[in-house]
Amino acid sequence: MGLLARLDRVACKLALDGEDPTALGLLRIVLVTVLTTSLLTHVGAVADYFSRDAVLFGPWAREAFPSRLSLFFWVDAPWAVRAIYGLGVVAHLLWLVGRFTKVAAVISWAVWVSMFGRHPLLYSLADQLQMVLCTLLMLMPAGNGLSLDARKHGAKPVPVWCRRVIQLQMAVVYTSTGLLKTGDTWHEQGTALYFSLANPYNRHFEIGPLLATLQPYVLRPMTWVVLVWEIGFSAFVGVHWLRSLLGRPRRMPDLRWLFLGFGLSMHLGIQAMLYVAFFSPLCIATYVAFLRPDEVRRIGAWLRRRGRRNEQRRAASEETDPA
Amino acid sequence: MTRGIGRLLHALFVLTVVTFILVPNIPSKHFAPSSTLAKVALQVSFKQGWQMYSPNPQRSQTYMNLTAIYADGSERRLEESAQENVAWNTHWMWNKTRVDIWRQYANFSPKKRNNNRIWYLKGVCVREARRGNVPHRIVMHQVRRRFTKPHKVAQGASALGKPKRTFVTVQYCKHPIVLDMIEADQASEVRG
């Protein structure tokens, strides 16, 4: 086989080959659930934020935020902004269940772009990840599986790059944030977690003295472990791809449980301790991209079996105790 | 042949997506096109750059304190100033608004020009005008409290330092741009 043919084979295995759409379908469901919930948190304030009822409106809004596009720079009547938002909610629900998925995805994305573009200062870094994931998911044929479209027209394979692009995005998020953490609280002192958890801007609990007691034994080692995990995430994704290219040989261990298990506990911890908008649910949702279609199918089959068993048990108990 | 072109276009599409994910994360001093690409992507709010808790997490928290001064010399503390007294304990999703995020951006770089702050304060003039009384000017201070180092907290020190109040800026609500905003706002209210 020539070099070009080999490269072509690698490119196909990495990106262009088709796979069962179930895993991407599940990814769509969990990500769009988070997006929809986040969208619904705007209820009641949409016109105040994005219409001419906002304190920055008309040409001054465009002057304040010149580098972004937004439909709401041109359509700014409060009723029209609310109507577009309402359309966005409907589009999200359709995207979630996978009906008219492509159109629903584009409309949902356009509504988010318009909201972010009209007033980017209402959004944090957590929301930035949401916008990025929304854009990437919109570009994917995510309605090909686990959707009403698939039920109607039949499931179609999806290219493997879809899940890999989400994996790559998370590798970029974690590794770049890890590399940018160059300060002494992350390195010499190991106090970064303490300061993050003690910040009154977004802490859930006021437990400074307890955190200070835990600092030398728990928070300092955890600060360094988090840093190593973040920087190492790209290596993990690289090894994960290599393992998949080589046909998952036994000598290459599956590191997903280690890396994603740590990530899951870390994000649950962050969610419990801090207000970080939808950052933790989003990150955890992206971990679905690391599940293979056959694994998602197995999980689905297990859940169905469990559901059937519960139903049988309920029916049996009703028979024995009709009252 | 058609299948080959289709595959090539598919590959180019994937390559473009990957480029938009990776390249904007490269500092532009190392790779100049990264900032151009970032600007293109920013138009649709696709923004890379993940400087979270870096290079260090916050080691102090700042809230803004706004005072409206009216033409007759009277003064009124505006709603933003309430945070100075009540926002040092805990926060949950239901007691945060998106405007809190805007205020946070407006608080950055108190000694330098910050467009986010300038527009926030112009917006405050419009908001106050809607409530019926246009201030002559808005005076902005910041109240900042440092977080005490954990070893000192473990020895019994308070987790938050004493509040430090500093002057930041003044926004005149009679500034021509602000007057235009207020006039347009009132005209749109009349139009309904």
Counting one residue from chain A and one from chain B, the pairs whose CB atoms sit within 8 A come to: 194
* Residue (of A171, A130, A169, A170) closest to A278 by Cα position: A130
* Smallest Cα distance from B73 to chain A, Å: 25
Interface check for B187 against chain A (CB to CB < 8 A): the answer is no
Instruction: State the first-to-last Cα distance of chain B, in angstroms, to the nearest integer.
Output: 61
* Contact flag B150-A172 (C-beta cutoff 8 Å): no
Cβ within 8 Å of residue B122, ≥6 positions away:
A56, A60, B171, B175, B177, B178, B181
- Average pLDDT of chain A, as a whole number: 95
Q: Give pLDDT tens digits for A187-231.
A: 999 999 999 999 999 999 999 999 999 999 999 999 999 999 999
Given a cut of 90, whether residue B25 has pLDDT beyond it is yes
Q: According to the model, what pLDDT value does residue B78 have?
A: 97
- HSE-up of A195 (CA within 13 Å, CB side)? 23
Q: Give pLDDT tens digits for A4-29.
A: 888 888 888 888 899 999 999 999 99
- Do β-strands A18-19 and A158-159 pair in parallel, antiparallel, or remain unpaired? antiparallel
Scanning B24-83 for CB atoms below 8 A from A yields 25, 39, 42-59, 61
Q: Which amino acid is at B180?
A: D
A interface mutation test: which of B16, B20, B98, B117 has the most A CBs within 10 A?
A: B98
* Contact flag A169-B21 (C-beta cutoff 8 Å): yes
Average pLDDT over residues B33-48: 95
Q: Give pLDDT tens digits for B104-157.
A: 999 999 999 999 999 999 999 999 999 998 999 999 999 999 999 999 999 999
Given a cut of 80, whether residue B170 has pLDDT beyond it is yes
Q: Which amino acid is at B143?
A: V
CA A223/CA A190 separation, integer angstroms = 6
Given a cut of 60, whether residue A323 has pLDDT beyond it is no
Position A321 confidence tier, pLDDT thresholds 50, 70, 90: confident
CA A131/CA A178 separation, integer angstroms = 21
Q: Give pLDDT tens digits for A238-274.
A: 999 999 999 999 889 999 999 999 999 999 999 999 9
pTM for this predicted structure: 0.94
The encoded tokens of residue A287 equal 């971990």
* Contact flag A186-B104 (C-beta cutoff 8 Å): no
* Smallest Cα distance from A56 to chain B, Å: 6
B129: chain A residues, CB-CB within 8 Å: none
Indicate if the alpha-carbon torsion angle A9, A11, A16, A19 is positive or negative. Answer: positive
B101: chain A residues, CB-CB within 8 Å: 121-124
* Smallest Cα distance from A253 to chain B, Å: 27
A151: left (phi over 0), alpha (psi -120 to 50) or beta: alpha
